[in-house]
């Protein structure tokens, strides 16, 4: 949340109320996350993140020693609409969708490949 507030203030020029602004500025991990977003923002998707850089970013989004990896695991195993599309039809095999998702993500984002 604090990273979003820092970005709103820095990128959009939003004036935050003083108590909120000071709490957001004190959050060091949020500042690192916001700085990373600011580095990637000018590329606007032209230079997609690699698989490991994306995974690290996702874990830091959630923060914490247990919460970060748990969040990454949930994102990695929760099928999306893109995973359900099989030959232009919707898959009814949800377990297979869950098992295929990490492999699809590795294909899509691995080796700094472009989408």
Cα-flanking dihedrals φ and ψ of residue 86, to 5°?
-130, 110
pLDDT at position 109 is 79
The domain spans of the chain are 2-45, 53-112
Per-state percent for the chain, helix, strand, coil, to nearest 5: 70, 5, 25
Q: What is the pLDDT of residues 58-87, one digit of tens each?
A: 888 887 778 889 999 888 888 777 766 654
- Residues 18, 8: Cα–Cα separation, whole Å: 14
pLDDT at position 106 is 85
pTM above 0.75, yes or no: no
């Amino acid at each position: 949340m604090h990273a979003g507030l820092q970005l709103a203030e820095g990128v959009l020029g939003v004036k935050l109320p003083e108590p909120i602004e000071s709490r957001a500025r004190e959050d060091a991990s949020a500042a690192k996350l916001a700085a990373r977003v600011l580095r990637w923002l000018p590329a606007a998707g032209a230079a997609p993140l690699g698989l490991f850089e994306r995974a690290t970013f996702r874990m830091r989004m959630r923060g914490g020693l247990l919460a970060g990896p748990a969040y990454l695991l949930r994102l990695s195993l929760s099928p999306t609409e893109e995973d359900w599309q099989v030959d232009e039809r919707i898959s009814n095999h949800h377990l297979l969708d869950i098992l295929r998702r990490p492999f699809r993500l590795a294909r899509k984002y691995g080796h700094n490949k472009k989408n």
